[in-house]
């Protein structure tokens, strides 16, 4: 509920600034994640880095959301730029940032945000750390 309320606030604020954010994929069931994972393996091979195995996806927590369109082209949009500059104000982070694939295990996904709360989101935004780097450095 907290993540959903923060997402609504972020969408309203973005809209007031002429930015249109659209929720594309939020909560996923185990079976839906299984289908997506199998498709990613069929498309990219066993070592693909674009889909989590069922039971390991953040989408199954209800704290992750894919926005607008799931494509590398999203990074060049005004929506993506706005998100990168403002998501932390609402408690969200770009979960799989650019140049951090070796740490996160996933390709750069500027459309994939994760709710972590305002305090941690601000800290990660200021330090440039991923969630993995934060937790493993403690």
Residues labelled as active-site residues: 109
- At residue 69, the 3 state secondary structure works out as coil
How would you classify the pairing of strands 92-96 and 109-115? antiparallel
CB neighbour burial string for 39-74, b if at least 16 within 10 angstroms, e if fewer = ebeeeeeeeebbbbebeebbbbeebbbbbbeeeeeb
Phi-psi label, residue 18: left if phi above 0, alpha if psi -120 to 50, beta otherwise: left
Rounded CA separation 8/1 (Å): 11
Residue located via tokens 């390991």: 56
């Amino acid at each position: 509920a907290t993540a959903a309320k923060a997402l609504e606030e972020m969408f309203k604020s973005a809209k007031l600034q002429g930015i249109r954010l659209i929720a594309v994929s939020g909560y996923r069931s185990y079976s839906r994640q299984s289908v997506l994972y199998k498709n990613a393996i069929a498309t990219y091979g066993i070592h693909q880095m674009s889909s989590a195995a069922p039971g390991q996806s953040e989408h199954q927590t209800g704290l992750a959301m894919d926005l607008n369109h799931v494509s590398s082209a999203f990074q060049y949009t005004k929506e993506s730029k706005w998100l990168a500059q403002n998501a932390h104000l609402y408690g969200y982070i770009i979960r799989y940032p650019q140049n951090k694939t070796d740490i996160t295990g996933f390709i750069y996904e500027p459309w994939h945000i994760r709710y972590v709360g305002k305090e941690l989101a601000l800290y990660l935004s200021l330090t440039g750390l991923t969630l993995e780097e934060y937790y493993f450095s403690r």
